[in-house]
Amino acid sequence: MLTLIVAGRYVSPLLEVRNRRFQTKMQTREKFSASMMDLLSAVSHLLLAPVVPEASDTVRSALTGSNKSGLIM
């Protein structure tokens, strides 16, 4: 009987706190994952976008990736 009282009084609140931390951690991971998917989608759309003919040579080379020194592939 004493074990049940101790467990109910001391262990249960600790488990609740742990579960809340775990839930917050999982929500943060899901939010980060969704943000990364949005970023990857935006980058892929930018890579597929055509370069306008009026663009200067500098802009054209930056957009087409002919100078890939700053890109990680």
- The per-residue pLDDT for range 24-71, each reduced to its tens digit, is 999 999 999 999 999 999 988 888 888 888 888 888 887 777 555 555
- In Å, the largest CA–CA distance within the chain is 83
DSSP annotation of 52 reads: P
Instruction: Answer whether 66's CB lies under 8 Å from 55's CB.
Output: no
Cα angle for residues 40, 43, 45 (degrees, 5° grid): 110
- The pLDDT of residue 66 is 57
